[in-house]
Chain A
Amino acid sequence: MSRRWLRVVRTPLGLTTGLLVTAVLVLAIVAPMLWSDRAEVIDTDHILTGPSGDHWAGTDSLGRDIFFRALVATRLSMELALAATVIGVVVGLVLGSAPLLLGRRLGRLVTAGVNIAVAFPGLLLALFFAVIFGVGATGAVLAIGMASAPSFARLVHTLVAGVAALDYVSAARVAGVGRVRVLLRHVLPNIAEPLVVNATISAGGSLLAFAGLSFLGLGVQAPSYDWGRLLFEGIGMIYVNPAAALAPGLAVLVAGLAFNLFGESVAKGLGVSTVGGRLTVTDEDAASAPALSAGGTDEHALDGSPSDLVLDVQDLRVSFPGPAGPIRPVRGVSFSVRHGEALGVVGESGSGKSLTALAVAQLIEEPGRVDAARLQFRGADLREGPRAHRHLLGTSMAMVFQDPMTSFNPTRRMGGQLAEVAVHHQGMSRKQAMARAVDRLRAVRVPDPEKRATQYPHEFSGGMRQRAMIGMGVMGNPSLIIADEPTTALDVTVQQQVLDLLQAIRDEDDVALVLISHDVTVVGEVCDRVLVMYAGRIVEDLPADQLDGGAQHPYTRALVAAVPDMHTDLEQPLAVVPGRPVSPTDVIVGCPFAPRCPLADDHCRTVDPPLAPVEHGIKVACWHAGEPLGLDEETGELVEADAV
């Protein structure tokens, strides 16, 4: 506990306000002892004078020193504010714990009353009670106390409800401990901390509120004076001596804010701690990325001529600043996509496959950082920034995201959300664009597209929304569709429809597809070629028809083996890839898959294998590519090879 308080005091705001609160409290004690006389002295020679050497803040209508009056007023102002706070806390405690003390039915009535009272602003309640309790300091203390009670009651109610459900409190009640005793012994100690913190905030509020009432003439009456009373007297002579109003105003402001903000910073400090580190990518990281890419060889000869490529990516890297240095979820990925080709990207979550897609689409935002030796889309260099090729990307690269439920703007109609693509990129009028949107909705088999275009996203089913998302992608004439887990959030039956739709669009216009999925089966079914990603790298790049049986990398083989099929023995537990995926924050030495790999040896654990071509158009990053795995043929389970 003490350590947590220490942390509060260590923050600049906590320290400043904490010191101020202490200063105000000390002043409240010593000021009247030291300066009462000087504050009361009537100096008829200096009536209503401005600030001078004798009177730092000038004098009032009786020639009394305003500076010392403001200092001395600290005590009364604080006393009254604290008294009001105590009343507020006590009454709030009683009202808030009513359900516990009075039983369910009466308690509910009190709670309902509290809920109604909370709806009214505190000042209005204070005025109401000020009328009842009468004008004057006592009346105002009661009024402000009562006015702050409902919000305290609500706080206590919430806190008590949380504690009363705890086992030992229930046990105490069952054991026949009296209600008041349960409250005092078991409940109160558990809610003391938030209560004290809120009382501190409330003391600041009471101080300000009391100044308000005194300022209106409803609080402290002459000859007594608190800050509000001084302000009330000072505002009348603000043209003669502005300091008469400003000095008490400043005093109440500083004290009120100090209590209020100290309470707030304590609340924040004791609550969820927010670790705020400086998050920047060092220059060294930025410099090293292109340097490393120099090693990437020109592999166009293997994949086809450059003009045949829709997308050409060399040594793509994504990094984010982290508290302990940059996090690198994508660490040098190279691949290309030919016209009309369907490329699948598979891997576990955290393998960097989605970030690769977002990086290619120029959708990684700061502080994320994308570097690449080459990043070309239809011959345009995307490294020039997202704005350089806005229209090209807007019409030729379509994105389909995972969650169709959240990927549309809930406050705008579907038709408009599709149409704006054509308005911005194809120079169509709104009307033409709407017609195009309806036509595209029809193309993606949304029934009754005219009416659907006028509806909001929440009126669409999940599958229909995903089709509309694809429709949005084909508003222009895409040559590449990047689909990031397009079917994951959908029902199995709807999944197939969406995949069929993507297939149909490809067939029609020779559109290339990058399909990101954790589902090897889906990718194998739809795609021509498959990239397998692990820990931010491509570990295998192979034709889809080689997936079953031809895969070289132990990870790919484990992924394929983990898919249950008709021959899977359902009596056996379903296979999983053993071990845990690598986190992007981990420091990786050697092959990232080595800790989970049955074939791993010391060489694997020290030297990272490069992605290198083997046979049948396969590229693989493994020192032991294609070696027998010790895979249990029956269950598909990996057998631990190095059980040493």
Chain B
Amino acid sequence: MTTTASSVASTPPTVGRVSGVLSHRWVRFGIRRLGRLLMSLAVLVTASFLMIHLIPGDPVRGALGPTAPTALVEARREALGLNDPLFVQYWHYLQGLFTGDLGTSLTSQLPVADIVSQRLPATLTLAMLGFLVSVAVAVPLGVLMGVVTRRGRGRRSELAFTTTSVVLGTIPDFLIGVGLVYVFGVSLQWLPVAGNATADAYVLPVLALAIGPAAILSRIFRVEMVAVLEADFVRTARAKRLPSRSIYLGHALPNALTAGLTICGLLLGSLVAGTVLVENVFAWPGLGRTIVASILSKDYPVVQAIVLVYGVGVLLANTVVDVALALLDPRSMIAED
């Protein structure tokens, strides 16, 4: 960002032209990225709207059960607007989204918006903590392993690290969760395994969520670090006889980070979805438990809303990372063309 700022400020014609191209490039990048976000949002909204119509049979009859009186089912259908033509329903759905009205729960009769806003913070906290912990572990670990295994050194540590991280990265978070519950809850009885009432109740769910992404990320950062340490500018830094700390942290690390960031975005997205299972292992009072309970009780308006929230979360995570990447490394904008 400073890059553009300084070149915009400069007056010589050549640099001015460069800044013109740059800002033009920024505008194009912004439009393209925004366009993609809006397109994906439109698909997401339409899919969540259509969900209730794609279910075979009458969703209201399904929710209320075969014994419910026909009059009640009909009244519910009318209240939900399911008897209107499809495009009218779609219009009302969009209107509702823009005014914050997500409908009413079929089972509890509470506004869906209230249910979501009540449950969202717990899920968001879990996802963010999981993400922060995985990055906080992965970056130092990846950098350290990169330094240790640079230029084909430390083959044994490389093999051990890669094997461990591949295995840990493949184990799904809910199985890690079960393992953590057994070890730290049942056997050692060190930490609580349910709810989020106390601070120590956060430890196991966050770990369950973070271990897999941390393993994958640290592997990527190691590879990036090894590649960066081969770069000419690292040789320059060594030719300047800088201390190792300065070479690794000052020169190599910033360049290794930009490349790992793309993967961070993808992981953040899958981490959002991963909370569903982890919440169910640890009885976490978030959206994940609500969506499963709602699917089982066929409370479709709630399911629709939560799917939408997760989808938006994923899309925003991807967009934020794309923009952050463009700010850190302007070359990534051009690569997209």
Contacts and interface: CB of A to CB of B under 8 A. Distances in A.
Interface of A: 13, 113, 116, 119-124, 127-128, 130-132, 134-135, 204, 208-209, 211-212, 215-218, 231, 235, 238-239, 242, 245-246, 249, 252-253, 256-257, 260-261, 264, 276, 279, 361, 363, 365-367, 386, 390-391, 393-394, 399, 401, 403, 406-412, 420-421, 424-425, 451, 454-456, 458-459, 469, 472
B310 interface: yes
Contacts of B25: none
B215 to A, nearest CB: 13
A403 B232 contact: yes
Output the residue of A13, A113, A239 with the most chain B CB within 10 A: A239
B1 to A, nearest CB: 11
Interface string B167-203: 1001110110011011001110000000000000000
Nearest to A400: B239
Q: Secondary structure at chain A's binding surface: helix, strand, loop or mixed?
A: helix
Interface in B260-276: 269-270, 272-274, 276
Contact of B307 (A113, A128, A454): A128
B28 interface: no
A121 B314 contact: yes
Interface stretch (B68-76, B92-100, B102-110, B289-297): B289-297
Interface of B: 3, 6-7, 10, 15, 18, 39-40, 43, 47, 51, 54-56, 150-153, 155, 163, 166-167, 170-172, 174-175, 178-179, 181-182, 185-187, 231-233, 235-243, 246, 250-251, 254-255, 258, 269-270, 272-274, 276-277, 280-281, 291-292, 295-296, 300, 303, 307, 310-311, 314-315, 318, 328-329
A174 to B, nearest CB: 32
Contacts of B254: 409, 411-412
A472 B291 CA distance: 61
Output the residue of A204, A264, A361, A410 with the most chain B CB within 10 A: A410
B174 A215 contact: yes
A13 to B, nearest CB: 8
Contact of A408 (B10, B236, B258): B236
Q: Secondary structure at chain B's binding surface: helix, strand, loop or mixed?
A: helix
Contact of A401 (B39, B163, B235, B329): B235
Nearest to B56: A134
Contacts of B246: 420, 424
A119 B233 contact: no
Contacts of A252: 175
Contact of A132 (B54, B185, B255, B258): B54
Contacts of A218: 292, 295-296
A200 to B, nearest CB: 13
Output the residue of B6, B185, B233 with the most chain A CB within 10 A: B233
B178 A394 contact: no
A205 B3 CA distance: 43
Nearest to A125: B273
Contact of A216 (B231, B232, B276, B328): B276
Nearest first, the 10 closest Cβ-Cβ pairs linking A and B are A394-B241, A121-B273, A399-B239, A406-B232, A123-B273, A121-B270, A411-B254, A409-B233, A124-B273, A407-B232
Given A128-B47, A257-B171, A261-B166, A472 B55 contact: no
